[in-house]
Amino acid sequence: MTRIAFVTCSKIPRLTADDRLCVEALCRRGIAVDPALWDDATIPWKEYDSVVLRSTWDYHLRPAQFRAWLEHCQRDCVRLWNPAHLVRWNMEKTYLRELSARGVAIPPCVWIDRGTTLDLATALQERGWDRAVLKPTISASSHQTYAVTHDNAHQIQQILPQIAGDTGAVLQEFMAQVEEQGEWSLLFFNGEFSHAVLKTPQAGDFRVQAEFGGKAAAVQPAPVFLSQAKRLLNALTAPTIYARVDACEVDGQLVLTELELIEPDLFLRMTPEAPERFATAIVARLRDP
């Protein structure tokens, strides 16, 4: 029997309800799926027919250990999806800087490299920003993410060294479109569009994650958005089994806020066909030599 691992973390040892929808679809095809903790040293990763990263939602708290695990998988020729080198690249938000250099539209950013600092109040003033978002370059689920304004810049300045930590940080212009219209999440399996959701924050907040009161609704993006997202994925250095393109709309164009290649919520529950589409993508990769 074909056996694969869905990689998770100790907080979610039995996988998310969303991922279990795909597990059910794979089981109907005769494929067994084991939940597996990425930091469990007893797991024989190379014995699986494929290993799929899913809910490793604590990797950003232990990035060095997570990188070491990726290297272990690579050395042992584990069939990891997404590929280890692409995951390492996607771990640090500096990938946005690289994509911007290739012509991808991203929010205006000020990068705070490791070992350097930035006067937040001055940065806002010089760039004419009323609001900005400050986050570590390695972060997930809005961890250590703050809205910075002229009123609170001096207060947040005091914790900037903690936010930047060992990796650095980024200050992004606040995209008002997220509050006004929402943030798009476009889901692709094996490079092909599957479905999309529009995420909106609760009143008085800027974070769209459900744990902060955000909501998501299934939507159909305009063809121009799909074309832009597809061009972005085609520019990557390796194929992806899944990718989530998070973006906001500015003057009819997508502005990329995040490219999620590690452990995104795939919103399988939002579209009835989505679990089968993801299962089909996994089966297709299993057939690759």
In order of their start, the domains of the chain are 2-91 (3.40.50.20), 95-100+177-267 (3.30.470.20), 109-174 (3.30.1490)
Q: Which of 87-101, 185-199, 207-221 has the lowest mean pLDDT?
A: 207-221
Mean of pLDDT over the chain = 92
Residues listed for the chain: 289
- Which pairs with CB-CB distance under 8 Å and at least 24 residues apart come from 132-135? 132/171, 132/172, 132/173, 132/174, 133/171, 133/172, 133/174, 133/206, 134/160, 134/163, 134/169, 134/170, 134/171, 134/172, 135/93, 135/163, 135/169, 135/170, 135/172
- pLDDT value of residue 143: 75
71-111: per-residue pLDDT in tens?
Answer: 999 999 999 999 999 999 999 999 999 999 988 999 999 99
